[in-house]
Chains A and B, each alone.
Chain A
Amino acid sequence: MSGFEEYDIYALNKDFLGGEAVITFTDTVGRLMALKPDVTMSIIRSLSDEENANPTERLYYDEKVCRISRKSRRPKEILQSGIECIGDIDLFSTCEVISLAAEAIGIFSERFVIDISHMGIVTEILSESGASELLKKEIIRLMASKNVHELKRLLEQSEIENSVSERILKILRLDGAFEDSLSELSKICKSGASRSALSELIQLESALNSQRYFNRFRLDFSLVQDMTYYNGIVFQGFIDGVPEKVLSGGRYDPLPKRFGSDKNAIGFAVDMQSLEQLFDDDNSACGDIALMYSPSDAAASVLLEAGRLRRDGSRVLATKTASEADGFKKIIYFDGEGR
């Protein structure tokens, strides 16, 4: 994959980048180019260009992308790793992707949760409310921070019908095991798009409830993604001890549509940087063996000995400096003859 593309693609889809700016430069023929800010968008664009090769593509990626950080306003490099399933998305594909998300987090820690929500339900309740775009944005902002007290006041002061306000507050208050939340949700979603979103969630639950990590799934409607891109099931993963989300994904059919494709898409990305915090281990060894030699030792002999020690795959550092040997699992002193 190329590290840069024409800027136009990203100019039209800035919201997908969560408000972070693209790093641009002018190429040698005067075209405005962008350092790639997002792998998913590049993948979708390239697949939309192709003639219908396979009905469903299953891809994984592991790439560095660049953006201007919203907080620091400086350029930053992000390592994005994730998967995309693009084409004909059925219940199985959805379950497969969500299962893989759980398995991916499970490799790093057993103590994790995956929050699940459905944009179809949120979108429908909000459109029923008749709220202006500005008010909808504010409602979503308060939902995302579980700010029930301010949301209640906002809804009371608005012209939104009580019954709709009640539903917004009820879905935000959903808590507990997946199955229990679903039965509560069925009292709230009575018709239309939210009813079919509900049945999708019910089918998901029954397909996944025999999976190893099923008890880590929770319904949480404070999880709201940009409605311009995410139209269905969305999910985020958290690990105990890591302060921010480690995984984020969902169904994002509107994005391929923006590139003129009628394919459906679901995927997730893992934040590799946030996972670094799990490896804050003071005991982690710099290497396996520190081979201490002295200036009088023959370079060729030290080289041979280091090579011999490395043959079983050990990480070996040959050094004259005692302080460099700190943190190695074993220290060996070269005796001049080889051991």
Chain B
Amino acid sequence: MISITLALPKGRLGEKALCLLERAGITPAPKDNHSRKLVFDDERSGVRIFWVKPSDVAIYVERGTADIGIAGKDILLEYSPDMYELMDLEIGRCKMCVAAKQGFKYDSGKTLSVATKFPNIATRYYESRSKKIDIIKLNGSIELAPILGLSDVIVDIVETGDTIRQNDLSVIEEITDISARLIANKSSYKFKKSEIDAIAVALMTAKGAKENND
């Protein structure tokens, strides 16, 4: 009998999360990459998993369609959904950074143009530094913006730094650390607390075991 629904992000982070879940004893039926099926049940642990676009995980959890979910802190910081953040899974680690062309310097006389997929994060960051900015919201290939002269800087996720380096950009500031978090719908957490806490504890143990093996 299914008692908990869990939303996972499609893509690399979701695959890493699935490994952690399997080590924690949650094993949905194997994902067939040729199948378009998106909902998987594990009768043994009572967990139903479904895959959604990474930026949608928080919406499914906030609306209660998923009791819990695994979402990157970047998404949580950008959309500030009203939900509980129960733990840091410490996977999908990267940093939210400001990057620009090599040799870039801030000009305090000019309005800084910032290209980003994360306008709220960028705005809050520069507000805290009392710097006036012009936000250009893009949906992908953000590193192109300063190269082609669309913006002075970008605010984006940096993992290995390869993409930044290959495009002759450099990180000029680190904003914050990003990693995957376990989030829970507030109402679900009140009525299914023991089931959700059990999953959190199992993930904590699985995470600890992973660290010992790495």
Q: In the complex, how many angstroms separate the beta carbon of A218 from the nearest chain B beta carbon? A: 8
Partner of A145, one of B63, B64, B83, B190: B83
Contact A145 B84 (CB under 8 A): yes
Q: What is the interface size of chain B, counting residues whose CB is below 8 A from a CB of the partner?
A: 18
Find the B residue at minimum CB distance from A146: B84
Question: Given contacts A149-B87, A149-B88, is CB(A244)–CB(B82) below 8 Å?
Answer: yes
Q: In the complex, how many angstroms separate the beta carbon of B5 from the nearest chain A beta carbon? A: 12
Question: Given contacts A242-B64, A243-B62, is CB(A147)–CB(B187) below 8 Å?
Answer: no
Chain A 87-129 against B: per-residue CB contact (8 Å), 1 yes, 0 no? 0000000000000000000000001010100000000000000
Contact A113 B85 (CB under 8 A): no
CB of A173 within 8 Å of the partner chain? no
Tell me which residues across on chain A come within 8 A of B188, comparing CB atoms: 243
Chain B 67-101 against A: per-residue CB contact (8 Å), 1 yes, 0 no? 00000000000000011111110000000000000
CB of B23 within 8 Å of the partner chain? no
Rounded to whole angstroms, the CA-CA distance of A200 and B62 in the bound complex is 33
CB of A240 within 8 Å of the partner chain? yes
CB of B185 within 8 Å of the partner chain? yes
Interface positions of B from 183 to 214, Cβ below 8 Å from A = 185-191
Most interface-central of B62, B88, B189, B190 (chain A CB within 10 A): B190
Q: In the complex, how many angstroms separate the beta carbon of B63 from the nearest chain A beta carbon? A: 6
Contact A146 B86 (CB under 8 A): yes
Contact A113 B64 (CB under 8 A): no
CB of A16 within 8 Å of the partner chain? no
Rounded to whole angstroms, the CA-CA distance of A243 and B190 in the bound complex is 10
Rounded to whole angstroms, the CA-CA distance of A222 and B184 in the bound complex is 14
Find the B residue at minimum CB distance from A243: B64
CB of A184 within 8 Å of the partner chain? no
Q: In the complex, how many angstroms separate the beta carbon of A137 from the nearest chain B beta carbon? A: 12
Tell me which residues across on chain A come within 8 A of B187, comparing CB atoms: 238-245
Find the A residue at minimum CB distance from B184: A146
* Majority secondary structure of chain B interface residues (helix, strand, loop or mixed): mixed
Tell me which residues across on chain B come within 8 A of A240, comparing CB atoms: 187, 190-191
CB of A226 within 8 Å of the partner chain? no
Interface positions of B from 147 to 194, Cβ below 8 Å from A = 185-191
* Majority secondary structure of chain A interface residues (helix, strand, loop or mixed): loop
Tell me which residues across on chain A come within 8 A of B185, comparing CB atoms: 243
Q: In the complex, how many angstroms separate the beta carbon of B75 from the nearest chain A beta carbon? A: 14
Partner of B84, one of A222, A242, A243: A222
Most interface-central of A111, A145, A146, A150 (chain B CB within 10 A): A145
Rounded to whole angstroms, the CA-CA distance of A146 and B65 in the bound complex is 20
Tell me which residues across on chain A come within 8 A of B63, comparing CB atoms: 243
Rounded to whole angstroms, the CA-CA distance of A64 and B129 in the bound complex is 40
Most interface-central of A147, A239, A242 (chain B CB within 10 A): A147
Contact B84 A113 (CB under 8 A): no
Most interface-central of B65, B83, B86, B187 (chain A CB within 10 A): B187
Contact B191 A111 (CB under 8 A): yes
Contact A146 B85 (CB under 8 A): yes
Interface positions of B from 46 to 66, Cβ below 8 Å from A = 62-65
Q: In the complex, how many angstroms separate the beta carbon of A322 from the nearest chain B beta carbon? A: 36
Tell me which residues across on chain B come within 8 A of A113, comparing CB atoms: 190-191
Question: Given contacts A243-B62, A243-B64, A244-B186, is CB(A145)–CB(B191) below 8 Å?
Answer: no
Q: In the complex, how many angstroms separate the beta carbon of B60 from the nearest chain A beta carbon? A: 10
Interface positions of A from 137 to 152, Cβ below 8 Å from B = 145-147, 149-150
A243-B187, A244-B187 given; 9 more Cβ-contact pairs under 8 Å: A146-B85, A147-B84, A149-B88, A238-B186, A242-B187, A243-B62, A243-B186, A244-B64, A245-B186
In the complex, 13 of the A-B residue pairs with CB atoms within 8 angstroms, ordered by the A residue number, are A113-B191, A115-B190, A145-B83, A145-B84, A150-B85, A150-B88, A238-B190, A239-B187, A240-B190, A243-B65, A243-B185, A244-B64, A244-B187
The 6 closest A-B pairs by CB, nearest first: A243-B64, A146-B84, A147-B85, A240-B191, A238-B187, A145-B85
By a beta-carbon cutoff of 8 Å, the part of chain B in contact with chain A is 62-65, 82-88, 185-191
